[in-house]
Chains A and B, each alone.
Chain A
Amino acid sequence: MSSLDVSALGRPIRGPSALGGDIRRLLHLAVTLAVMEFKLRFFGSVLGYVWQLIRPLLLFGILYVVFTEFVRLSAGVRFYPAVLLTGIVLFTFFSDATSRSVTAVVDRENLVRKVEFPRLVVPLAVLLVAYFNLVLNLIAVLVFVLATGVSPRVEWVALPLLLLPLGFFAAGLSMLLSALYVRFRDVQPIWEVVLQVLFYGSPILYVLEILPKVSLQHLVVRLNPIATILVQSRHSLIDETAPNAWDAAGGMAYLMIPGGIVLGVLALGFWVFNREAPRIAEEL
């Protein structure tokens, strides 16, 4: 086949992959890209950050008026505004991260086709931007929550623990969606519909207790990881008299289901992305 003596050359290079050989480079690149993207969004205009904050706040304002004045979903719910705003901010993170990542790889076509780098950088950077955003929004939420009379509690320290599974869920979906979109362009409208379903299927506008049947409450918390996380965050961050996740799911053991879904989606997302990564540059 060839007359080259390759014995002294070590290992051949591998083609493009999801992780690349060097995890540090993966992180460096993802952080750099995310920081630049963040700069573009926030420092592009003087009011950059304000606009970013206004979106969830506006949504909150409308929903608050509708559901306290027109439809009295909030009847008897302690700290309804705080619950509503927390829910909106957390869901905004989730929908931001996943819907932006759908087109992320295709949008970064220029980079993907012209530079060698771990392909996972692309969805990871989107996720990081959404995270930066979430942290800023949470500061606003904190101010608001304190203003509505919720008293600070030790449990607030546990917030990152709640954000972790949410982040994993978003990460898994980001990898899955961005890889699929390279091949199937209808992933985008499909995902928009799924996001709507998830929004109404999670206790954001309403609280879980409002659902007429206890079995239905159980079902929502068991099957929708976002609902599980929101229920638990309401309990531990805002209102300790509200049910915690395991009670709402009808038993600690049932939390294995949303936990399993999150880990399953994460594994599936990585598997699909990893499988597609070597050929992404060719198929764009």
Chain B
Amino acid sequence: MTDLGQGTPAIAVDGVSKTFRIPHERVSTLKERALHPFRRSTYDRFDALQDVSFAVEKGEFFGIVGRNGSGKSTLLKCMAGIYGVDRGAIYVNGRVSTFIELGVGFNPELAARDNVLLNGVMLGLSPREARDRYERVMDFAELRQFEDLKLKNYSSGMHVRLAFSVMVQVDADILLIDEVLAVGDVAFQQKCFDVFNRLRDEGKTILFVTHDMAAVRRFCHRALLIERGEVVQIGRPPDVAVSYVDLSFRAGDDPAHAGPDAASGDGAAELLEVWWEDEHEERQTVLHQGRSYSFHARVRFNQSAENPGIATVFENEAGQPLMATSTDRLGGTGTFDQGTEAVLSVHIDMVFAPGRVYASPWVVHEGGLRVMHRWPRMHSVVVAGAHVSGGLVDIPHEVRLSSPDRVLQVEARP
């Protein structure tokens, strides 16, 4: 990692607040205004940013993450000077270019040459600078033979390449980037990041708004997590990524996912509740790969039962079973009087692939053929992990590549 300078920060945000006023009844004509000159319009206040402070060092690759509507784009627009701030101040040390969208100002009716010029000037170049860089832009985009073609005749891939080339050639000290990478394919995104890394090594500062935690982990030096307009955390990307995932799934926890899928059985026992706990015995709805958790199911016997069994299966969203277990392994379970409660606990290391995991528990009479209570998809949690391997589970393993001159080896753990 680059050694971060301790000098003047590239960007300092000092106690910034921003409130949007959302009118209840929008007066949108002069006529209404003239007819009701004294009617005060009422409005809701929406605090998009509240007392946000942080500083970004020169040469730093800084990620800003948050859920939809958390204020991250507003923050970027404030730093770019597109929105004014209501309180606080933003200090910028160097030339800034903002990329809220690739190819802002592109006009499909104009030739590539004109669009490059226009886009360059919009992004802060003088017309002369934009003309001087035109050749480099076209070379980088590898579109020289199409320079006189109107943009509307470009394929979307060419379009993106052209826009990105302008962006790279703008040569700002500080780049503010808002999810622009979401548009391209994987190869293009990789190319973008290669360029960002190069720019970073040249001492440029990059602020990068994204949902993509893998990108944050891979490229950012530090990251900031914002929620409801407030800074929740500033720190190392892996930590921030974990908090982000927690936050997203906690807030987005949807009871529909945990609802009963037609419970069945003769009613001799009843599944009361199921839950997951972490190592500190705290209930969780988001489980992180690689940590240990225990699953619990609480059952009440409505009739006395001899050697009943309790079982559960865990399955993913596609309904594929990931794992099943039951009290069979204990041998006989003995007698339960009417009204007794029992708790099944399953302690496991979380190796399930990232995604939603459902628990479908059931209680059976001795022998396992007659069901007292079965509740498919009674409960669900989200398993969070940085990598999607494509498998159903991610079992810790080692990967090794041997050849005469070298041996490459990595330990893969979730």
Q: Which residues of A contact B (CB under 8 A)?
A: 1-4, 6, 8-16, 24-25, 28-29, 31-33, 36, 39-40, 44, 110-111, 113-117, 180, 183-187, 190, 278-279, 281-282
Q: Which 5 A-B pairs have the closest CB atoms?
A: A15-B84, A12-B89, A9-B91, A116-B81, A2-B53
A129 to chain B, nearest CB (A): 14
Q: Within 8 Å of chain A (Cβ to Cβ): is B339? A: no
A126 to chain B, nearest CB (A): 16
Given the known interface contacts A9-B91, A184-B33, the answer about A36 and B81 at a Cβ–Cβ threshold of 8 Å is no
5 A-B residue pairs with Cβ-Cβ distance under 8 Å, sorted by A, are: A13-B79, A28-B127, A39-B114, A115-B104, A115-B122
Q: Is the CB of A12 within 8 A of B110?
A: no
Q: Is the CB of A1 within 8 A of B118?
A: no
| Stretch from B24-32, B192-200, B329-337 forming part of the interface with A | B24-32
The distance in angstroms between the C-alpha atoms of A8 and B79, with both chains bound, is 18
Q: Is the CB of B91 within 8 A of A32?
A: no
- Find the B residue at minimum CB distance from A40: B109
Of B30, B84, B114, which is within 8 A of A14 by CB?
A: B84
- Report the contact-size class of chain B (Cβ under 8 Å from the partner): 35 or more
User: Which residues in window 116-158 of B have CB below 8 A to A?
Assistant: 117-118, 121-124, 126-127
A28 to chain B, nearest CB (A): 5
Majority secondary structure, B binding face: mixed
**Besides the contacts A9-B12, A116-B98, what 11 more A-B pairs have beta carbons closer than 8 Å?**
A1-B15, A2-B88, A3-B53, A14-B84, A15-B81, A15-B82, A40-B110, A113-B100, A115-B82, A184-B27, A190-B30
Q: Within 8 Å of chain A (Cβ to Cβ): is B212? A: no
The distance in angstroms between the C-alpha atoms of A183 and B32, with both chains bound, is 12
The distance in angstroms between the C-alpha atoms of A183 and B33, with both chains bound, is 11
Of residues A6, A15, A24, which shows the largest number of chain B Cβ atoms within 10 Å of its Cβ? A15
Of B14, B80, B105, B124, which is within 8 A of A6 by CB?
A: B14
Q: Is the CB of B124 within 8 A of A9?
A: no
Residues of B within 8 A of A1 (CB): 14-15, 51, 53, 88
Render B85-98 as a binary contact track against A, CB cut-off 8 A, 1 for contact: 10011111100101
Of A16, A40, A111, which is within 8 A of B104 by CB?
A: A111
A21 to chain B, nearest CB (A): 10
Q: Is the CB of A114 within 8 A of B82?
A: yes
Of B30, B83, B105, B127, which is within 8 A of A111 by CB?
A: B105
Of residues B28, B29, B98, B105, which shows the largest number of chain A Cβ atoms within 10 Å of its Cβ? B105
Given the known interface contacts A28-B127, A115-B122, the answer about A4 and B12 at a Cβ–Cβ threshold of 8 Å is yes
The distance in angstroms between the C-alpha atoms of A45 and B55, with both chains bound, is 52
Given the known interface contacts A110-B104, A186-B31, the answer about A32 and B117 at a Cβ–Cβ threshold of 8 Å is yes
- Find the B residue at minimum CB distance from A180: B30
Q: Is the CB of A6 within 8 A of B91?
A: yes
Residues of A within 8 A of B55 (CB): 4
Residues of B within 8 A of A186 (CB): 28-31
- Find the B residue at minimum CB distance from A24: B126
User: Which residues in window 52-90 of B have CB below 8 A to A?
Assistant: 53, 55, 77-85, 88-90
The distance in angstroms between the C-alpha atoms of A15 and B18, with both chains bound, is 12
Q: Is the CB of B82 within 8 A of A39?
A: no
Given the known interface contacts A9-B93, A117-B122, the answer about A39 and B110 at a Cβ–Cβ threshold of 8 Å is yes
